[in-house]
């Protein structure tokens, strides 16, 4: 297997040798810079004695119940216990689930957005799968699509709504259409919904809601992933889930007993509390909304038609020559961003939709971010 370097490895190579002075502001990684809420940390401290126990692969009942209740509160979706598996975050699922699902396919084909979270590509490589890149461009509103022929050929389609890095979000009607395609062309549809709780106006929709809307009550051919990392500023808890079609999840759970990704019990207790409690998410959600508004005001003054999303905490900023722009910004302003070409690939037409964009992760408190945005504005 031959994997491409991760975007941050490429970035380190790009900026190697660049000397700067003063404190650097990095807008590269989607890691919340707010403290994990104290009550979550306190649960973790209280339960540390359970480190002497082996955790179950399937997760404890109290953790699964907290996730099921979250789905019921947030999306009005009532799942049976066999329709959800707690996971060690979602990165491990995105990597190992395609290997499980595509193992018996003779010539597997996996479609995913482009640009993308690089684990999608890694999963395709590890699964010996051909990749179909669904280019996200300004012309298509950064929305993924496939031709009829591609859908006939696909075994697995990964969506990512709300999307990293573009911030674009699929509507309920668009998600319903994707579910209908999955049923008509008999491919498995997986939506990565890890940014569903970061929004400033309307709440993003789950693919599971779309299933119910069209009468797919058993979620045939459909799975959803979600994570606590962004919702609770707690990426270190490594708490996520995969939910949907129980006919697929049952053998996948058995497969997971060999993977060894069970979450330690103290983390499960803390995560269960976080999934069960909603008020702690409101302050960080409000801060991200302020950050996006700041970007709209400050950067929009130089780019009048700048598209700033209402979901996620990213701005997909158009620039000229993303690699040179990134280096020059670092040299002049000591601000580091992530070139869009590191997050995307050329498709079979030679098109790379990430070129001439950079990703800004607006994950800091207002005072730090405002300083960074004002310096960015000068450079624009």
pLDDT tens by residue, 278-305: 999 998 899 999 999 999 999 999 898 8
pLDDT at 378: 86
CB half-sphere exposure, 205, CA atoms < 13 A: 16
pLDDT tops 90 at residue 309? yes
Q: What is the token pair recorded at 26?
A: 């990095």
Instruction: Say whether pLDDT at 347 is over 80.
Output: no
Length of the chain (residues): 380
Pairwise CA distance, residues 346 & 114, whole Å: 9
Q: Global pTM?
A: 0.96
Contact 306, 297 (CB under 8 A): no
How much is the average pLDDT of 349-365?
93
Question: Of all helices (H) and strands (E), which one includes residue 269?
Answer: helix 265-276
Closest CA to 96 of 323, 257, 207: 257
Beta strands in 32-105 (DSSP E): 84-88
Q: How far apart are CA 358 and CA 337, in angstroms?
A: 7
* Predicted local distance difference test score (pLDDT) of residue 379: 82
In whole angstroms, how far apart are CA 73 and each of 189, 265, 277, 286, 315?
Answer: 23, 25, 11, 20, 29
pLDDT at 108: 98
How many Å apart are CA 177 and CA 262, to the nearest integer? 35
Q: Write the DSSP string, 153-204.
A: H-SEEEEESS-TTT-----HHHHHHHHHHHHHHT-EEEEE-TTTT-BSSSPP
Residue range 179-191: mean pLDDT, rounded: 98
pLDDT score for 21: 83
Q: What angle do CA 358, 362, 363 make, to 5 degrees?
A: 130
pLDDT, residue 349, reads 80
H/E element holding 131?
A: strand 130-135
Please state the rounded mean pLDDT for residues 100-122: 97
Q: Which percentage of the chain shows pLDDT scores above 90?
A: 90
349, burial (CB in 10 Å: exposed 0-12, middle 13-18, buried 19+) = exposed
pLDDT at 348: 76
Domains in the chain and their CATH numbers? 7-36+280-379 (3.90.1150.10), 39-276 (3.40.640.10)
SS (H, E, C) 219-268: CCCEEEEEECCCCCCCHHHCEEEEEECHHHHHHHHHHHHHHCCCCCHHHH
Residue 139 DSSP symbol: G
Calpha distance 157→168 (Å, rounded): 17
Distance (Å, rounded) from C-alpha 46 to C-alpha 72? 28
pLDDT at 33: 87
């Amino acid at each position: 297997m031959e994997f491409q370097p991760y975007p941050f490895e490429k970035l380190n190579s790009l900026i190697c040798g660049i000397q700067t002075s003063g404190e650097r502001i990095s807008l590269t990684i989607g890691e919340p810079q707010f403290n994990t809420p104290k009550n979550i940390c306190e649960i973790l401290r209280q339960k540390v004695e359970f480190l002497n126990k082996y955790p179950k692969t399937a997760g404890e009942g109290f953790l699964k119940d907290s996730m099921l209740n979250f789905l019921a509160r947030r999306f009005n979706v009532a799942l049976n216990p066999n329709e959800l598996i707690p996971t060690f975050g979602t990165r491990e699922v995105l990597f190992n689930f395609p290997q499980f699902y595509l193992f018996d396919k003779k010539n597997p084909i996996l479609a995913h957005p482009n640009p993308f979270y690089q684990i999608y590509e890694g999963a395709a490589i590890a699964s010996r799968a051909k990749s179909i890149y669904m280019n996200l461009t300004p012309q298509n509103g950064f929305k993924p699509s496939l031709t009829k022929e591609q859908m006939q050929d696909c075994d697995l389609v990964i969506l990512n709504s709300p999307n990293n890095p573009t911030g674009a979000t699929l509507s309920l009607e668009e998600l319903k259409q994707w579910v209908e395609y999955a049923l008509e062309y008999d491919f498995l549809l997986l939506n990565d919904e890890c940014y569903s709780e970061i929004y400033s106006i309307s709440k993003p929709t789950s693919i599971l809601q779309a299933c119910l809307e069209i009468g797919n009550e058993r979620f045939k051919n459909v799975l959803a992933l979600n994570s606590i990392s962004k919702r609770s500023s707690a990426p270190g808890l490594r708490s996520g889930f995969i939910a949907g079609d129980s006919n697929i999840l049952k053998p996948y759970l058995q497969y997971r007993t060999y993977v060894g990704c069970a979450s330690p019990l103290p983390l499960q207790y803390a995560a269960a509390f976080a999934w069960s409690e909603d008020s702690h998410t409101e302050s960080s959600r409000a801060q991200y909304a302020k950050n996006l508004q700041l970007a709209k005001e400050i950067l929009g003054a130089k780019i009048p038609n700048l598209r700033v999303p209402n979901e996620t905490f990213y701005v997909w900023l158009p620039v000229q020559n993303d690699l040179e722009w990134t280096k020059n910004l670092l040299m002049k302003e000591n601000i580091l961003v992530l070139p869009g070409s590191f997050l995307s690939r050329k498709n079979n037409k030679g098109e790379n939709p990430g070129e001439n964009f950079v990703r800004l992760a607006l994950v800091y408190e207002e005072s730090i971010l405002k300083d960074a945005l004002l310096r960015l504005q000068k450079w624009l």
